[in-house]
Chains A and B, each alone.
Chain A
Amino acid sequence: MNAARKFSVLVVEDHPIMRLGIASIINAQPDMTVCGQVESGEEGLRAFRQYHPDVTLMDLRLPGMSGVEALRIMRSENPHARCVVLTTYEGDEDIHQALAAGAAAYVIKAMSYETLVDALRRVQAGSRYLPPSVARSLANRTPNSDLSPREREVLNLMVAGKTNKGIADALGITEATVKCHVSVILQRLDAEDRTQAVVAALQRGLAHL
């Protein structure tokens, strides 16, 4: 099986060093090449439309539009778009979100280049790829931790260190409602108090700093 043609990879990554490293890894492979390097979701979408890459390597955390969002749009525009998510996040919720948005593979940034390359090739081949640690993390995901959008907002504000009053002011709801949301969140995350909830949320990718 001879690679007559190298498949193209679009790199969407905001960190320049990271970008440089990834691009170097990809370009060093005989069967793949970087067709574009952009640093935000919006640019990623533009480049996607321009280059029609075979695989898009997408960082989840991007300035402006998030990676998941960009992914969703990409997939809506082209349901056959193949995406590998590259992220530092190892939380189950992130993985879940990314996969839900249509990512075919999920690669953690600190993994070896073989994993990345392997993932890209498999996705190019049309299959999915989840490294074992990611798969394990996903399996641990408590289905119950599905938070409503409002609860997610509340959680994010909790993680930002806001008090109930602050959350209420920020969301324009009453403090009592906030309390109610918080108690649901604590229950869902199996947390004893706010701090535990915040830690759990960060660990599990329900919220990010």
Chain B
Amino acid sequence: MRSAPRPLTSAIILLSIALAVAPLHGALPGYAKRVWHAEDGLPEETVQAFAQTPDQFLWVGTTGGLVRFDGAQFVVFNRDNTPAFRENSVFSLLAASNGTLWIGTEGGGAISYRNRSFHLWTRSDGLTNGYIRTLREDASGRIWMGTDDGLFRLSGGRVERVDARDGVPAVAVHSIYLDRQQRLWVGGYHFLCFDHDRATEFHLPGGLTDNVKSILQSRDGTLWVGTVTGLWRTTSAPSSFPPVFSRVNQIDSTVRTLLEDDDGVLWIGTIGEGLIRYQNGQFSRVSASAALPSNTILSSFFGSEHNIWIGTQTGLVRLNKTAADTVALPDFADADFGTIYGDRDGTIWVSSTHLFHLRGRSARMVHLPPPLASVRIRNVFRDSSGTLWFGTEGEGAFREVNGVPRLVPGINPYVRAFAEDPGGAVWIGTDGGYCRWRPDGTRCFEEHESVRSMYVDRQGDVWVGKDRGLSRLRNGSDVADSPIPRLRREKVWAIHEDAEGGLWFGTRTSGLFRWKDGKLSGWSTAQGLASNSIYQILEDRRGFLWLSGPNGISSISRRDLERAAVDPSFLPAVKPYGTSEGLQTTQMYGGVQPAGCISSSGEIWFPSTAGAVRIGSDVGDPVAAPPAVIYRVEVDGRDVAFGSGGTIVLPPGEGKLNVEYGAIQFRSQDRVRFRYQLENFDNGWTETRARRASYTNIPAGRYRFRVLAFDIAQPGATSQASVAFDWRPHFYHAWWFYLVCVGCIGAAVWSFYRARMRQAHARFEAVLGERNRLAREMHDTLIQGCTGVSALLEAVASMSKEQTAAAANLLDCAREQIRVITDEAREAVWNLHRGGRSEISQLVDQMAKQACAASHVPVRFESSGKPVVLDPTLEHDIMMVAREAVHNAIRHAHPSEVSLRMQFQRGRIRLSVLDDGCGFRPDEVGPHDDGHFGLIGMRERTERLGGQFAVRSAPGKGTELCVEVPVRPSARERQGVLNG
């Protein structure tokens, strides 16, 4: 029997104590905040100025120098590393429309920064005061500089002083402002307005001094003027000039800075009073105790991503609007569990160390009557009849009957989940199984595993997520232990059913699964999930799934997930919620359901260790991708300078490359992902969270390193940075080196060929020479000799019978000649056979011994000097001469002894043949003297060799024959090829 639904029972709230609205923990509801201190990388904590250049870098002026910030790291420029800085303290900054960053220092003049170089402007440029308090660009691009002594204007590269002339008083300037009418307001010890370079002085009513610190025109046209004693505003119509100023009574401290954000909220930075917001006619104070590191506000800036930057005495603050906030609970203490249940009336039940009931922004601690008065409530559930159920830690499950909690008997006392089936039965999951309660009784199903989640789907099947596995009950009793085999061992902590009947399972360690039409799909961090640990799955009206886990909350479009399941290359947009988005902690609760809910008004609620997290209507994220920046290129361990666009030409190296890169995103750098590729080397993109790419063994060549940056909430929008390299090859990798090698090999082949050819030629020459020698030998020896003998015989034949004596003489001569010819022919043949080389002295010695053996006349031979191997022709000729001389001596002189002496001198050979025979008279030797034809032949041969021939003889005195010939080295010795 069902009871009619009733509103929240007043009885339960009898004992509840109404509590005042607690000041919200962040003190700035709707804003997320991040503070940076010196330990985060700031050179000093006093932040005096801001500017943002077109490349999206945020520039921060501190007392310790200029800081460039990309959201992740601070890069400091000051006296330590930049010569243009004479003073570290940067008091004012301006990003001019032409891209130049203007830096005003305290005492060190102005510095302009463009294209990575700094330029200092000082007294020599006309800037007579070095304390630059404010910088402003007017409509025509002129830079105005306000200093402690004088107002200056830069135009045409020259700084000129504007005040203290033409009726303009000398001024100390603290603020310059260009209003929408192009009037330039200059504040300091005077308050001036330059309208087309015509100055008008104003006095603020009621001010002790006119020491103006800040000027701003809000979007409604009101001019706000902050001085050391408070704030003034125009009360006249915006179009009327001169305007009428009146004091803002709420503020009496020094107004150092004024800022209007894109919602029209005026942010008033004071010295000592913190930050004051002005919105809808209301002033509200944001003080140091709540949100700011200091109450001394020195600077403020509205930058990209809708960020509000606040510079304080002790730190840098970023404020950004966020849809998420944490609802602090009274007497809240973090515990090891917590659930949030959205009741049907839009109220929220928070179960933690105590039970809280949230209605709108008011939270009440709920004190339940006995038996639950001091029992820790784990979860709250309202069934379709309107009955409230309470799950407890160790005391069982209770249902409220007539305002009194009644124990449901017979179940495990540790309750973890409730569910209700279409028949009105309530299912209770516990550490010992799960039970079905019906008015007529309770039935329990035991499990060894703790039940972590329960869900009744639209078919009425009950799904039970356990600490190990998943069970399904059909028709109230048919239990399927593991209907989805893949999930058999998983900790199934969350179950959700989408509008199309798909069942979603969140696991403790393996990500998200969907079971639909008998098919299972799975997603993990590899598919873009923020975490593989899922405590709760919620689906909002837009079809976005909200997943909680130990690392925060993320939302992801269900359509995107379904697409990623079929298209692995598709990266779903995942929007994480962490501290950057306003959470005070990313640690959510899970394991007990409901670990999150969607209220009837559409707010997303999750339990966290810092309280109940509420995410309201989402505000748009930055649409543009975070700009990718390459910070550092290191080649072979050395930093390489690189500009934009150009190609870095690198000398030959080891092929080691490190590139450090990042992206400019101020809110949550941890959402930035990168894809990089070294074109010409990598085949594809590498996706990473890392901000450094390392390569080794890159061969010489042309490359381009590209890095894409994107926010995981918008993976489709990417920015790109790239740097090109031309890595020069080692000379032994250069094309010309290969060419030289080929050339060298070619030359080697060619010279080898040439050598072979020369050798062949030399051989040919040698063969030809030998052939010529033979031919000459034949001619000189045989033909000449034979024709001579033939002539003699012809002569004999021509003679008459009576000339017998003469004929006999001629025949004798012919005989002798034939013998000589035979000898010479034998000698020639012997020369042919003699392949090896011998010295002439050995040959002559040999010849002498032969002659000696043949004639029995002793022939002595001696030689002196260094014997040489002679040219074969020369050798032959000398041999011939020597042989002839020895024969002559033996045949004609009848000696008792012949002695042969050979002397080798430099370039000459001297041969002498001495006999002790009968001798003759050399002068009587004529052509007709038959016995001495050999003498003539020897002389002729010697002369042909270019030598000298001499005969000394007298009858009875023996004969001495002397031959001296010049020697040229043997061709064999010269070339060495014949034996080679």
Instruction: Decide yes or no whether A24 CB sits under 8 A from chain B.
Output: yes
Binary CB contact string for chain A from 49 to 69 against chain B (1 if under 8 A, 0 otherwise): 000000000000001000000
Binary CB contact string for chain B from 790 to 811 against chain A (1 if under 8 A, 0 otherwise): 1111111111100100100010
Which residues of chain B are near A198, meaning CB under 8 Å?
A: 768
Closest to A24 in B: B795
A15 touches B794 (CB 8 A): no
B788 touches A14 (CB 8 A): no
A24 touches B799 (CB 8 A): yes
Query: CA separation between A117 and B794, bound complex, in Å?
Result: 11
A63-B940, A88-B783, A161-B769 in contact; A18/B776 too (CB < 8 A)?
Answer: no
Contact of A24 among B765, B772, B787, B798 (CB under 8 A): B798
Which residues of chain A are near B784, meaning CB under 8 Å?
A: 15, 18, 88
| Count of A-B contacts judged by CB separation below 8 Å | 98
Contact of B791 among A25, A28, A160 (CB under 8 A): A25
Indicate the size class of the contact surface on chain B: 35 or more
A22 touches B927 (CB 8 A): no
Query: CA separation between A17 and B824, bound complex, in Å?
Result: 15
- How many Å from the CB of B290 to the closest CB on chain A? 103
Query: CA separation between A163 and B754, bound complex, in Å?
Result: 13
Contact of B792 among A20, A37, A63, A116 (CB under 8 A): A20
Query: CA separation between A22 and B785, bound complex, in Å?
Result: 14
A112 touches B788 (CB 8 A): no
A28-B799, A88-B787, A110-B787 in contact; A160/B772 too (CB < 8 A)?
Answer: yes
Which residues of chain B are near A160, meaning CB under 8 Å?
A: 772
Closest to B779 in A: A209
Binary CB contact string for chain A from 142 to 165 against chain B (1 if under 8 A, 0 otherwise): 000000000000000001111100
Binary CB contact string for chain A from 81 to 103 against chain B (1 if under 8 A, 0 otherwise): 00000001000000000000000
Query: CA separation between A83 and B389, bound complex, in Å?
Result: 159
Contact of A163 among B765, B783, B791 (CB under 8 A): B765
B765 touches A161 (CB 8 A): yes
Instruction: Decide yes or no whether B936 CB sits under 8 A from chain A.
Output: yes
Which residues of chain A are near B936, meaning CB under 8 Å?
A: 16
Instruction: Decide yes or no whether B817 CB sits under 8 A from chain A.
Output: yes
Interface centre among B764, B791, B795, B937 (most CB of A within 10 A): B791
Query: CA separation between A159 and B791, bound complex, in Å?
Result: 29
Query: CA separation between A17 and B927, bound complex, in Å?
Result: 9
B792 touches A17 (CB 8 A): yes
Instruction: Decide yes or no whether B928 CB sits under 8 A from chain A.
Output: yes
Which residues of chain B are near A37, meaning CB under 8 Å?
A: 927
A25-B798, A112-B794, A113-B794 in contact; A18/B788 too (CB < 8 A)?
Answer: yes
- How many Å from the CB of B677 to the closest CB on chain A? 60
- How many Å from the CB of A51 to the closest CB on chain B? 16
Query: CA separation between A21 and B814, bound complex, in Å?
Result: 9
Which residues of chain A are near B765, meaning CB under 8 Å?
A: 161-163
A20 touches B790 (CB 8 A): no
Contact of A161 among B768, B790, B794 (CB under 8 A): B768
Instruction: Decide yes or no whether A122 CB sits under 8 A from chain B.
Output: no
A110 touches B776 (CB 8 A): no
Instruction: Decide yes or no whether B789 CB sits under 8 A from chain A.
Output: yes
A17 touches B785 (CB 8 A): yes
Query: CA separation between A202 and B775, bound complex, in Å?
Result: 10
Instruction: Decide yes or no whether B933 CB sits under 8 A from chain A.
Output: yes
Query: CA separation between A47 and B772, bound complex, in Å?
Result: 34
Which residues of chain A are near B761, meaning CB under 8 Å?
A: 163
Instruction: Decide yes or no whether B813 CB sits under 8 A from chain A.
Output: yes
Query: CA separation between A64 and B944, bound complex, in Å?
Result: 10
Binary CB contact string for chain B from 820 to 857 against chain A (1 if under 8 A, 0 otherwise): 00000000000000000000000000000000000000
Which residues of chain B are near A15, meaning CB under 8 Å?
A: 784, 787-788
Query: CA separation between A88 and B778, bound complex, in Å?
Result: 12
- How many Å from the CB of B790 to the closest CB on chain A? 6
Closest to A158 in B: B768
Query: CA separation between A116 and B933, bound complex, in Å?
Result: 24
Closest to B773 in A: A209
B813 touches A20 (CB 8 A): yes
A63-B940, A113-B797 in contact; A20/B927 too (CB < 8 A)?
Answer: yes
Given known contacts A24-B806, A163-B765, what 6 new A-B pairs fall within 8 Å (CB)?
A17-B933, A25-B795, A88-B779, A113-B794, A163-B764, A202-B775
26 A-B pairs in the complex with CB atoms less than 8 angstroms apart: A15-B784, A15-B787, A15-B788, A16-B933, A17-B788, A17-B792, A17-B817, A20-B791, A20-B792, A20-B928, A21-B789, A21-B792, A21-B794, A24-B795, A28-B803, A109-B790, A109-B791, A112-B794, A113-B795, A113-B798, A160-B772, A162-B765, A163-B765, A209-B772, A209-B776, A209-B779
